[in-house]
Structure 1
Amino acid sequence: MGIRPKWRWGIVPIAGILVGIGFLAYCESQQEISERKSRWERVFSYTGTRFGIPVLKASIQIENGFSEQGKPLYRIRAAINSLDYFGLFFRMNNRFLSTVEVETFVPIQYVKEIDQDGLLVKKKHYLQTIIFDHSSKKIFVEKSDKKEKEEFPLSFETYDPLSMFARHYLREEIYPGRDIHMSIFDGLKLRQMVFHSKKEEVESKIYGKVEAICIESTTSFSNFGEQEGTIRIWYSADRKKIPLSMELGLPMGDIHFELDEMKER
């Protein structure tokens, strides 16, 4: 089923926003994408709900036009903010930045700026920089509240959470029944993950009913005593592969992020 905008009061028509998104289709080769001279940027905005109640606003921004030592790079930024009406109980203002190589999608650097506190969450305020040194096959981690630099082994197909997202959106051919193996390092632990894919029909806030491909993996969460949970991402099952929604199945309950808007500039 193709994507058709669902019109309603308060929703801005999105046809113009989608113009040009087709060149990210997986039918194009990565070489064709890397050779484009013009700089582009895409921003996905989400609302996160728990038990149907809005609790978070999130955004993911992908942009090109950067280089280091002659290698073209992508930068993927993410922000997660709590809604103002939670006030004293829950405040979150977290920022993330991943820098990856265009040709291989291997991460070069991942930066986390964590700022959260409140009666319902543990207070955290720190800056963490993660360097993926592929020449030495090591991961170096520096944290603002620690003097020592930590080291971890860097194995093949290791990504940070944002470079993993970008790889699936920009590069991977996603189809039902495919298993995708990779290692994810989030600054705390190296996790071996397998994403399983299946086709589903989902209800999108801005597109209505859409055929989608869901990729899903189980993982343990450090903040919950290594208890297992799930990560799910739904992409539209067409050439555009729009990331329609994401879900974290946490021990404390699911948090579902639904796409509110997509912009290109």
Structure 2
Amino acid sequence: MYKNLVLILLFLSSFALKQDNERIIQFNSRKIEHNAFKVGERLVYDVKYQFVKVGEAEISIPEIIDYNGRKCYRAVFRVWSLPFFSVFYKVEDRYESYIDVEGIYPWRFEQHIREGGYKFDFYAEFDHVNLIAKTSEGVFPIPQYAQDVFSAFYYARTQDYSNKKVGERVRLENFYKNRTYPLEIKYLGEQMVKVKAGKFKCVVVEPLIVEGGLFKAKGRFLLWITNDDKKIPVKMTAEIPIGNIVGELREFEGIENIKSKVD
């Protein structure tokens, strides 16, 4: 009897999953063609506070997963403080996003913050069919293709900045906690940047963050990305309440044919 009951439950659960997957698969997703990133990409950064290295960060796409019937990049961002700095202020943050391979928008987002004595955990599941986000804080409406604070970083890398004029902006919608915020990416021009990973021709952009970014920006947040189809983040600077944070690319893997690399 128990064996039959288990079989029935398995059948019902698989049927329910099939129905849910069919609903998601039938979603008429946008398609974004790009060569900016792929599975296996890994970027490692030195994090400096007031010119002193205090931590490291890693941004990676370790795998492609199937999530609710959609192929997704599992993208991970981690930042941690070095032992000497952890004595004063320990940082161990982790962000994770399941980003639709076809349309570059999120299906799930997780945020785990450990900074000093502060602890915060947040998750959101994005339903782009019914236009809602189910989060750890409730259920909220979202616009079509709303980004999370991490997936927005990848979406920005798919944009073409070659014909942009200084001051021109790319606009997207960024959902965080319980509402959607406008997020604009302002084009500032071109610049050569040298870091441990090499010397690169870059474009400079400024994400105009309202809330919920990878850094809690007090002032400006600037991003240098390679001036090619990869748009690799080479350098980041952010003004935070306790000073200036700088992230510089130290090493990378899983990336080929970087046209903007000078040496």
Q: Deviations over 1:5-34 (max 9, x none)?
A: xxxxxxxxxxxxxxxxxxxxxxxx95587x
Give the aligned partner of residue 95 of structure 2: 96
Distance 2:240 2:34 in 1: 39
Q: Tell me which of 120, 124, 132 is aligned to 1:130.
A: 124
Distance 1:48 1:261 in 2: 13
Contact residue 197 and residue 250 of structure 2 kept, 8 A:
no
- Residues 218 and 231 of structure 1 are in contact (CA less than 8 Å); yes or no, is this contact kept in structure 2? yes
| Pair 164,227 (structure 1): closer, same or farther in 2 beyond 3 Å | closer
Contact 1:41 1:62 in 2 (8 A): yes
Does 2:173 match 1:183? Answer: yes
Paired residue secondary structure (1:89): coil
Percent of aligned pairs with the same amino acid = 21
How far is the alpha carbon of 1:72 from its aligned partner?
Answer: 1.5
- Match for residue 229 of structure 1 among 219, 238, 250: 219
Deviates more, 1:106-115 or 1:123-132: 123-132
Q: Which runs of 5+ in 1 are unaligned?
A: 1-28, 34-38, 118-122, 143-148
Q: Does 1:40 align with 2:28?
A: no
C-alpha change, 1:91 and 1:238, in structure 2 (3 Å) is same
Following superposition, the deviation at residue 111 of structure 1 comes to 0.7
Match of 2:84 in 1: 85
CA distance in 2, matches of 1:230, 1:198: 12
Q: Give the Cα–Cα distance (whole angstroms) in 1 for the partners of residues 90 and 218 of structure 2.
A: 25
Q: Deviation of residue 214 (structure 1)? A: 1.3
Aligned to 1:153: 141
- Determine if the alignment matches structure 1 residue 139 to structure 2 residue 129: no
TM-score computed with the length of structure 1 as normaliser: 0.72
Q: What are structure 2's unaligned runs of at least 5 residues?
A: 1-30, 256-263
Between 1:51-60 and 1:171-180, the stretch displaced more is: 171-180
If asked which structure has higher relative contact order (CA below 8 Å, sep 6+), I would say 1
Give 2:151's aligned residue. Answer: 163
More deviation, 102-111/210-219? 210-219
Q: In structure 2, what is the equivalent of residue 262 of structure 1?
A: 252
More moved, 203-212 vs 91-100:
203-212
Q: Determine the C-alpha separation between the residues in 2 that align with 1:75 and 1:98.
A: 6
Deviation of 1:73 (Å): 1.0
Which residue does the alignment assign to 1:203?
193
Structure-1 separation of matches of 2:212 and 2:250: 29
User: Which structure features the higher share of strand residues?
Assistant: 1
Partner of 2:6: none
Greater Cα radius of gyration, structure 1 or 2:
2
Query: How far apart in 2 are the matches of 1:187 and 1:153?
Result: 12
Deviation at 1:229, TM superposition (A): 2.5
Contact 1:78 1:95 in 2 (8 A): yes
The residue type equivalent to 2:160 in the other structure is: E
Structure 1 residues 157 and 229 mapped into 2: Cα distance closer, same or farther (>3 Å)?
farther
AA paired with 1:245? K
Q: What is the DSSP-based 3-state SS (H/G/I as helix, E as strand, rest coil) of the residue aligned with 2:61?
A: strand
Provide TM-score, normalisation by structure 2.
0.73
Deviation at 1:114, TM superposition (A): 2.0
The answer on whether the counterparts of 1:110 and 1:129 sit within 8 Å (CA) in structure 2 is yes
1:173 deviates by: 1.5
The answer as to 2:221 corresponding to 1:246 is no
* CA contact 2:182–2:210 (8 Å) conserved in 1: no
Code of the aligned partner of 2:234: L
Assess, with a 3 A threshold, how the Cα gap between structure 1 residues 77 and 136 changes in structure 2: closer, same or farther: same
Q: Give how far 1:163 is off.
A: 0.7
Runs of 4+ with >4 A deviation = 29-33
Aligned length, in residue pairs: 218
Asked if 2 retains the 8 angstrom alpha-carbon contact of 1:78 and 1:97, the reply is yes
2: distance between equivalents of 1:261 and 1:253?
25
Q: Secondary structure at the match of 1:155?
A: coil
Task: Work out the CA distance in 1 between the residues paired with 2:79 and 2:178.
Answer: 19
